[in-house]
Amino acid sequence: MTDVGDAEALIFERMQPLPSRRVALADAAGGILRESVRAERDQPPFDRVTMDGIAIASRDWNDGVRSFEVVGLQAAGAPPLTLSAPGQCVEIMTGAMLPTGADAVIPVERITREADRAQVEASLEVTARQFIHPRGSDGQAGAPLLEPGTILNPPEVAILASAGCAEVEIDAAPRVAVISTGDELVEPGRPVAAHQIRSSNDWAIAAALERHCRASVTRILLKDEREVMLERIRALHDENDVLVLSGGVSMGRFDLVPGVLEQLGVELVFHKIEQRPGRPMWFGMSRDAKPVFALPGNPVSTLVCLYRYVLPAIELALGRAAPEPEIVRLAEEVRFAPDLAYFLPVTLRASPDGAALAAPRPTNTSGDFLSLAETTGFVELPRGQNVYPQDLAVRLFRW
């Protein structure tokens, strides 16, 4: 069996970059940036006024001028006016470009306006460059703004717009085939016999892929028939970037998936991981470097393996920067005897001092997916010990 950390490393080192696409800025939100973005010009691109009021030359104030002649009005978006003589000012709006000859702004609240004159409180302190956001103080032209792997949330979309990016290179939606195997599986909406069960793993996998990877998912059920599996999986492999299978990977007579995949030329990288649930997971690479994940059929095992290995691997291939692990603390002591890593479902709650605590929500079996309702995710308890004390720092994987 393969160690959890080794399994992750073996997967990650084999993942190849998935395709990218160029999209309009309007379609970029939520994507993963696949190019470097640099500042089109200084930010802000001019000395920008930060208060409504009047723009003056500070030397006039230092010379004792307190009543200024208003020579114009300048709004945001207008070209700059000019102070052409001592004692002049320009009525100015927040966001406007600083007028030529001005180097200070006096807020409107400190001014009394009479016709074309502005009287300023005599006791006010005025300094050069006050209420001015200097050109280039946020960033210089040509400076790096965003790097490949950045998720384009609303702030990043705003940065792209400020840099003049009408189009941007982002990840293309990965094409993923999700295949559940088993004669017992029946789709929702179809009649189900007493000896059958509803197919749910494929729905959960597809939902996670669409949510976390924006994947284009083809979902299919296959009977435990070798020739049918060979034909359908071969076709799905050719049409997709990634294959994710659920079921048929253990040691039973009808666990046909490993043999079928190897018959299709998929090279085995590992089979079985030192963990519970999800020990029978199988991973391989096809001849044309497409990853193939075959997950155990028990629903909890499927979800644990999906979130621990499959989703992070696809996100890596999409170019997403690796997130910092989320660390929480156990709300209570946990005991686990087998010498395996333990993936324990939990619900987060806050301690009295606001720390994130993971309250265990163990399932009855690896098929007990009903117990996962309203859980936050699962924590990884490393192998090598059988008592995990309260307040132990552990890594959380959110659904």
Q: Are residues 283 and 293 in the same domain?
A: yes
Q: What is the pLDDT of residue 365?
A: 79
Q: Are residues 127 and 142 in the same domain?
A: no
Instruction: Provide the 8-state DSSP code for 370.
Output: G
Q: Are residues 108 and 149 in the same domain?
A: no
Q: Are residues 153 and 25 in the same domain?
A: yes
Q: Are residues 104 and 62 in the same domain?
A: yes
Number of domains in the chain: 4
Residue-wise pLDDT tens digits, 89-146 = 999 999 999 999 999 999 999 999 999 999 999 999 999 999 999 999 999 999 999 9
Residue-wise pLDDT tens digits, 292-324 = 999 999 999 999 999 999 999 999 999 998 888
List Cα–Cα distances, 322 to 112, 178, 393, in angstroms.
56, 24, 20
Q: Are residues 156 and 24 in the same domain?
A: yes
Name the phi and psi angles at 30, rounded to 5. 90, -10
Full residue range of the structural domain in which residue 203 is found? 4-19+172-317
Polymer length of the chain: 399
- Is pLDDT at 274 greater than 90 in this prediction? yes
Q: Are residues 122 and 205 in the same domain?
A: no
Model confidence, pTM: 0.85
Q: Are residues 117 and 128 in the same domain?
A: yes
CA gyration radius, the chain: 31
Q: What is the pLDDT of residue 238?
A: 97
Contact 108, 89 (CB under 8 A): no
- Is pLDDT at 197 greater than 90 in this prediction? no
Domain ends where: 113, 133, 153?
A: 133
Q: What is the pLDDT of residue 79?
A: 98
- Is pLDDT at 18 greater than 90 in this prediction? yes
Q: Are residues 177 and 231 in the same domain?
A: yes
Q: Are residues 352 and 370 in the same domain?
A: yes
Residue 387 bridge partners (DSSP): 335
Contact 219, 178 (CB under 8 A): yes
- Is pLDDT at 254 greater than 90 in this prediction? no
Q: What is the pLDDT of residue 15?
A: 98
- Is pLDDT at 366 greater than 80 in this prediction? no
Domain ends where: 300, 317, 334?
A: 317
